[in-house]
Structure 1
C-alpha cells in the first residue's frame, strides 16, 4: 500500500490552467503509462486539433522516446486522474513553455529532468512539440511551478 505522505510530496504542483498545457500533460501521462502508441492520447489530440493531429502526435512520441533514451534517472509521472503534478512534470512543463522563447533556460530544465548534460536531442523534441501546438492554435502558455 502506498504511503499518502510520499504520494502527496510527489504530486505537490498545481495543474496548469491553459488548455494547451493540460492537453500536453494528459498526452504525456497517457504515453508514459500505456506506451507511445496509446489510443487515448491520440484521440485527445484528434479531438483538439482535428485533421492536423498527426504532427503533434508524432512529435510527442519522438519526445517521449528521446527522453527515455537520454535520461539517466526515472522520471516521475502522475496518473491521468491526479489533480496535481509531480516535480518532474512541472520541470517538463516549464521547459516546453519556454522552449521557443528561452532555449537556454529550457535546456537547463531538460538537463535537470534527465539528469544528463546530453539533453540537446530532448530539447529539440520539446521545442518541436511546442512549435506544433503553437502552429495549431494551442500555444504552450508560460508555466511557473507553484
Structure 2
C-alpha cells in the first residue's frame, strides 16, 4: 500500500464573501445586558448559552449579550441539534477589582441516550460594570 501526502489546501479568503454570516459582528450590534447582581446575571446568561447549545433556543437570541468571539463560538457549536444535554452545576464568583467580577463554573455534559457517559467541563468568564450595569466581556468554554 502506498500513502501519498496531500498538499495543504486552504481556499483563498475573498472579502466579497464576508456577508455570508447570518448575523452582523457583535461589536456593531446593539448591546444587551441581563439585569441583576453579577452572580445571578452570570447564572442566567450561562443557562441561556447552554439552552442554545442543546437546541432549545436560537443562537441569535444571545446576540449582543456575549463578546464577539464567544458569540461566534456559540454559532459554531449550536449545530449539535439537541444531541447533548447540558446542566450548569456550580458557579463561583470573585470580585477582582472595583467593577470587575470573574466567574468560574462547571457544566455537566450528557450525550443523548448515553447517561453513563457524562462528564464535566469548565467555563470561565469576566464581567465588567459599565454605567451601573454588568456586561459579560469574556466567556470561555474549556474543552467544549
- TM-score bracket for the superposition, by shorter chain length: 0.3 to 0.5
- TM-score, normalised on structure 1? 0.32
- TM-score, normalised on structure 2? 0.33
Larger Cα-atom Rg:
2
